[in-house]
Amino acid sequence: MFERLPSNWMLALKSIGYWFWVIPVALLPLSYKLSLNSANPDAWAFLVPLVIFGLIPILDAIIGRDPANPDEVQQVPAMEQQSYYRWLTLASVAGLLGMLLWSGWILASYSAWSWVGQLGWVLSVGIIMGGIGITVAHELVHKDSALEQNAGGLLLAAVCYAGFKVEHVRGHHVHVSTPEDASSSRYGQSLYSFLPHAYKHNFLNAWKLEAERLKRKGLSPLSRHNELIWWYALSGVFLLGFTVAFGWLGALFFLGQSFVAFTLLEIVNYLEHYGLHRRKLDNGRYERTNPNHSWNSNYLLTNLFLFHLQRHSDHHAYAKRRYQVLRHYDESPQLPNGYAGMVVLALIPPLWFAVMNPRVRAYYAGEEHQLKAGQQAI
């Protein structure tokens, strides 16, 4: 739909379109308002997942792909210096935390929902905190400034997944698409096999990496210098706050939305790297990470919702690039829909394998032995 627009026009439109993150957040109060005096209030609590995983994949297919890559010489240096993009992500942190607090209050005070409606509400909040919140946190923890680092850590603490701040940058980006990476799914591995392993090993790897960092500095891992202790303590403060403010229901709400949020993160990890791996060189090392080692999804609408997270190939090749200047590579392996549609597909393994396995095999055409090489256990 937009593929014939001049690049300058598209970049200008996208600078405004990154505010689309507000739309899923706004769906929450809309779903609450629609449930008031409704004959079926429980149904409206599921508005967010229905829109995101039902309507968005259809719109992605209709609206089509994002045609705009910024010019490396003329546009990228200027865009990287524009504080607008940085402050947009920081503004979303305040908005998301405010939404989280308001949502907890609604759950505790609204009596028209049965446990089904309450479950839908927790699911909705978790999807937003995982889809938008962790995406923003991901952008921020890759940056060097203390403000962005701490803002990203705050969002991760709000979903009890602070280990991502350490493991993703120091672990996943080092070992991506190798057997050593718990966030890189194997060819033929189902989502339900992948998730328990990812939960466990990403948590343990974060503590291991932080302990190694501190030991190199001659410091004890069990000290105030361990940032994971502080971030998980902050998660405990969140939990205590929701419990004191809203009772046991507030505690369940906070833990429930956290579980949904970090599960959605790991589902996205699953689809971003499924079946792809870096080849091992004669010297025993893996080839350098390049744009061919992650699945790319260049659908415009979800690109805007997720701050270009779907241009994942470029992100892994050049992790410090800010979201507004991430590029699409035609030669990267391409997903057939945006992330929302692919999440739905991943939840149904037979459909996932039917769609994705032929694409992985095509990627390794002529060197099919690589398919078995990539299935080594971690």
Per-residue tokens: 63: 């609206």
Confidence of residue 376 (pLDDT cuts 50, 70, 90): low
Residue 255 inside a domain? The answer is yes
Please compute the mean of the pLDDT values over residues 210-239 and round it to a whole number.
Answer: 95
Smallest CA-to-CA distance from 227 within 247, 243, 207 is with: 207
Residue 2 inside a domain? The answer is no
Q: What does the alpha-carbon distance between residue 321 and residue 323 come to, in Å, rounded to a whole number?
A: 6
pLDDT at 334 over 50: yes
Please compute the mean of the pLDDT values over residues 340-367 and round it to a whole number.
Answer: 93
190-205 per-position pLDDT tens digit:
999 999 999 999 999 9
Please compute the mean of the pLDDT values over residues 144-173 and round it to a whole number.
Answer: 95
26-38 per-position pLDDT tens digit:
999 999 999 998 9
User: For residue 315, what are the CA distances in angstroms to 68, 78, 296, 342?
Assistant: 16, 19, 10, 19
User: For residue 342, what are the CA distances in angstroms to 47, 51, 69, 234, 355?
Assistant: 19, 15, 23, 33, 10
Smallest CA-to-CA distance from 191 within 348, 27, 76 is with: 348
Smallest CA-to-CA distance from 92 within 173, 152, 150, 163 is with: 152
Q: What does the alpha-carbon distance between residue 310 and residue 58 come to, in Å, rounded to a whole number?
A: 17
Q: In the 8-state DSSP scheme, what is residue 131? A: I
Q: What pLDDT sits at residue 118?
A: 97
Q: What does the alpha-carbon distance between residue 36 and residue 136 come to, in Å, rounded to a whole number?
A: 31
Q: What is the CA radius of gyration of the chain?
A: 21
Total domain count for the chain? 1
281-300 per-position pLDDT tens digit:
878 788 888 888 899 999 99
Residue 14 inside a domain? The answer is yes
Residue 378 inside a domain? The answer is no
Q: What pLDDT sits at residue 374?
A: 54
Print the domain residue range for 118.
Answer: 7-373
Please compute the mean of the pLDDT values over residues 69-75 and round it to a whole number.
Answer: 89
pLDDT at 370 over 70: no
Q: What pLDDT sits at residue 1?
A: 65
Type of residue found at 40: N
pLDDT at 270 over 50: yes
Q: What does the alpha-carbon distance between residue 251 and residue 231 come to, in Å, rounded to a whole number?
A: 18
Predicted model pTM:
0.94
List the beta bridge partners of residue 334: 296
